[in-house]
């Protein structure tokens, strides 16, 4: 007998009919003899609707507290209805708000962080044979005020509860079968992965295969809570995400290919190769709150070099403006930019112990006549920047070359 935390996202609880389906899964888990704690999201797009209402009234720093009171109602509705469905089917169940459990957070309204979880009440419920249905995405601060954890925060609630209760597995039910080798909309033969490590998931998530809230993965990694991402619409086993030591088998060299189209590249040409130049260029960029991703600076033969970096495409125009100023100050020759680029990344912990992954990647791109504009590497990731129009071709070619089908 195990303790399982199950989280059902908005699409899995979109209507009352969906709740029947969820109840069936919960009851099936109970019948296997497991204790179950369920974390739910708001139904469908309810949080968007509530958010929109708040905006119509006017959101200011003074009203953020009340925004949390409003947003948290979405999850509370689901806990009540799902508990009712379960009870009507003869399964003992009880709803809990974040405050009732007591999920203690700091007071940063609309983006609060969990500080502590009191498990006594939940545990007492479980011990008496009740399925606990907990509202995701919400907590309560020291003053007893309702807080929310930021959009997508129910994943974090689930993982945090699993960690606090010492659960055996945290199952995240969603509308996809699990984590794929790459986006199936780009590569038909993309495959649902059986296993993945936390580190790989973090790389794949931050690069755009947004099935899991990043903070939830960080949390799971820190407390070593195994996560399983799976569909609430079928009975497939999904993707199990664990720490590398727990995965207990030889790692594939590449687990997945992530990509993003929303990047832009800026180059400052003819800058002096002297100490302090990088900070003179990037300082004003970060002062403008623009996040920089990749950075490349050449070695200079003649004391003059080019400095290239990438930013999110949304920040491109502003970054260009900032750079124009900087260029005059540091006496650079010219600046140029390109917002039609894309980044493709190979991710896999197996890379650590295998040489030649980069070579194979570059050879594959070359054989498709795709020019690589920038390269960056980490222990478990190799990323390249290419012309956006070759993105799909590149992803397909790499997916085939690394035999991810
Ligand atoms: N309902 C919240 C949202 O839509 C939290 C969640 O579902 O994770 O962002
Ligand atoms: Mg979500």
Q: Please give the tally of structural domains in the chain.
A: 2
Domain shared by 135 and 37, yes or no? yes
Ligand nearest to the CA of 45: 1
In a domain, 393, yes or no: yes
User: Which of 51, 137, 229 best tests ligand 1's pocket when mutated (most atoms within 8 Å of CB)?
Assistant: 137
When pLDDT is cut at 50, 70 and 90, the band that residue 262 belongs to is confident
Domain shared by 30 and 145, yes or no? yes
8: CA distance to ligand 1 center in Å? 10
Q: Does the pLDDT value for residue 248 go beyond 80? A: no
- Output the 3-class SS for 88-131: HCCCCEEEECHHHHCEEECCCCCCCCEEEECCHHHHHHHHCCCE
In a domain, 369, yes or no: yes
**Chosen domain end from 144, 175, 206:** 175
Q: Give the nearest ligand 1 atom to 155 CA.
A: 8
When pLDDT is cut at 50, 70 and 90, the band that residue 210 belongs to is low
In a domain, 300, yes or no: yes
Give the pLDDT score at 244: 80
Q: Does the pLDDT value for residue 250 go beyond 80? A: no
pLDDT in tens, 61-108: 999 999 999 999 999 999 999 999 999 999 999 999 999 999 999 999
**With pLDDT > 90 as the criterion, what percentage of the chain qualifies?**
86
Give the residue-averaged pLDDT of 45-56. 98
205: CA distance to ligand 2 center in Å? 12
pLDDT in tens, 142-186: 999 999 999 999 999 999 999 999 999 999 999 889 999 999 889
How far apart CA 104 and CA 142 sit, in angstroms, is 7
Helices (H) and strands (E) in the chain, counts: 13, 18
**Domain housing 317:** 257-401
DSSP state of 313: G
* Strands across the sheet containing 334-347: 292-297, 304-312, 256-272, 334-347, 381-387, 374-378
Token pair 């920089």: residue: 292
pTM summary value: 0.88
Least confidently predicted of 137-146, 171-180, 205-214:
205-214
Does residue 256's CB lie within 6 angstroms of at least one atom of ligand 1? no
How far apart CA 243 and CA 220 sit, in angstroms, is 9
How far apart CA 281 and CA 287 sit, in angstroms, is 11
271: CA distance to ligand 2 center in Å? 44
Of 156, 7, 135, residue with least CA distance to 71: 135
**Chosen domain end from 175, 197, 228:** 175
Burial class for 293, CB neighbours closer than 10 Å (0-12, 13-18, 19+)? middle
Does residue 136's CB lie within 6 angstroms of at least one atom of ligand 1? yes
Give the pLDDT score at 385: 96
Average pLDDT, the chain: 94
Ligand nearest to the CA of 49: 1
**Phi, psi angles (nearest 5°) of residue 239:** -115, 125
In a domain, 210, yes or no: no
User: Looking at residue 301, which CATH number applies to its domain?
Assistant: 3.30.2130.10
Does residue 45's CB lie within 6 angstroms of at least one atom of ligand 1? no
Q: Does the pLDDT value for residue 208 go beyond 70? A: no
In a domain, 74, yes or no: yes
Atom 5 in ligand 1: which residue has the minimum CA distance? Answer: 152
Does residue 78's CB lie within 6 angstroms of at least one atom of ligand 1? no
Give the pLDDT score at 206: 61
Q: What spatial distance separates the first Cα and last Cα of the chain, rounded to whole Å?
A: 36
Atom 7 in ligand 1: which residue has the minimum CA distance? Answer: 41
User: What is residue 363's three-state secondary structure?
Assistant: helix
In a domain, 134, yes or no: yes
Ramachandran sector of residue 102 (left: φ over 0; alpha: ψ -120 to 50; beta: rest) = left
Does residue 137's CB lie within 6 angstroms of at least one atom of ligand 1? yes
Give the pLDDT score at 247: 58
In a domain, 165, yes or no: yes
User: Looking at residue 108, which CATH number applies to its domain?
Assistant: 3.40.1160.10
In a domain, 275, yes or no: yes
Atom 9 in ligand 1: which residue has the minimum CA distance? Answer: 151
Does residue 41's CB lie within 6 angstroms of at least one atom of ligand 1? yes
When pLDDT is cut at 50, 70 and 90, the band that residue 354 belongs to is confident
Does residue 151's CB lie within 6 angstroms of at least one atom of ligand 1? yes
User: What is residue 186's three-state secondary structure?
Assistant: coil
User: Which of 6, 42, 46, 48 best tests ligand 1's pocket when mutated (most atoms within 8 Å of CB)?
Assistant: 42
Q: What is the dihedral of CA 186, 190, 193, 199, to 10 degrees?
A: -40
Domain shared by 153 and 268, yes or no? no
Token pair 């619409």: residue: 233
Domain shared by 19 and 150, yes or no? yes
Does residue 153's CB lie within 6 angstroms of at least one atom of ligand 1? yes
For the chain, the C-alpha Rg in angstroms (whole number) is: 24
Does residue 309's CB lie within 6 angstroms of at least one atom of ligand 1? no
Binding residues for ATP: 7-10, 174-175, 180, 185
**Chosen domain end from 155, 175, 195:** 175
Give the pLDDT score at 274: 86
Q: Give the nearest ligand 1 atom to 157 CA.
A: 8
When pLDDT is cut at 50, 70 and 90, the band that residue 299 belongs to is confident
């Amino acid at each position: 007998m195990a303790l399982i935390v199950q989280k059902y996202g908005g699409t899995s609880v979109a209507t009352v009919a969906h709740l029947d389906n969820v109840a069936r899964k919960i009851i099936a888990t109970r019948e296997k003899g497991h204790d179950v704690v369920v974390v739910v999201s708001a139904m469908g797009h309810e949080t968007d609707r509530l958010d929109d209402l708040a905006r119509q009234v006017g959101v200011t720093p003074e009203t953020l507290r009340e925004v949390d009171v409003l947003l948290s109602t979405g999850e509370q509705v689901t806990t009540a209805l799902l508990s009712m469905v379960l009870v009507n089917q003869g399964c003992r169940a009880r709803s809990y708000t974040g405050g009732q459990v007591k999920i203690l957070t700091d007071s940063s309204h609309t983006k609060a962080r969990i500080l502590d979880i009191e498990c006594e009440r939940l545990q007492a419920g479980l011990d008496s044979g009740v399925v606990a249905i907990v509202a995701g995405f919400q907590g309560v601060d020291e003053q007893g005020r309702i807080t929310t954890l930021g959009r997508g925060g129910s994943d974090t609630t689930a993982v945090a509860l699993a960690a606090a209760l010492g659960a055996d597995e945290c199952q995240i039910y969603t509308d996809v079968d699990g984590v794929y080798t790459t986006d199936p909309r780009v590569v038909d033969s993309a495959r649902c992965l059986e296993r993945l490590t936390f580190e790989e998931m973090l790389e794949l998530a931050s690069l755009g295969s947004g099935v899991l809230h990043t903070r939830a993965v960080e949390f799971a990694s820190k407390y070593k809570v195994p996560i399983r991402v799976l569909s609430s619409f079928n009975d497939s086993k999904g993707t199990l995400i664990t720490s590398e030591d727990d995965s207990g088998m030889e790692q594939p060299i590449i687990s997945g290919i992530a990509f993003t189209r929303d990047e832009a590249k800026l180059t400052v040409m003819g800058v002096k190769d002297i100490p302090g130049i990088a900070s003179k260029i990037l300082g004003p960029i970060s002062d403008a709150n623009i996040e920089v991703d990749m950075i490349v600076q050449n070695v200079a033969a003649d004391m003059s070099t080019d400095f290239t970096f990438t930013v999110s495409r949304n920040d491109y125009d502003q970054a260009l403006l900032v750079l124009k100023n900087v260029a005059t100050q540091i006496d650079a020759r010219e600046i140029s930019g390109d917002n039609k680029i894309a980044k493709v990344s190979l991710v896999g912990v197996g890379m650590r112990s295998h040489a030649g992954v980069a070579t194979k990647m570059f050879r594959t791109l070359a054989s498709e006549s795709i020019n690589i504009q920038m390269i960056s590497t980490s222990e478990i990731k190799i990323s390249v920047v290419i012309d956006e129009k070759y993105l799909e071709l590149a992803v397909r070619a790499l997916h085939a070359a690394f035999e991810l089908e």
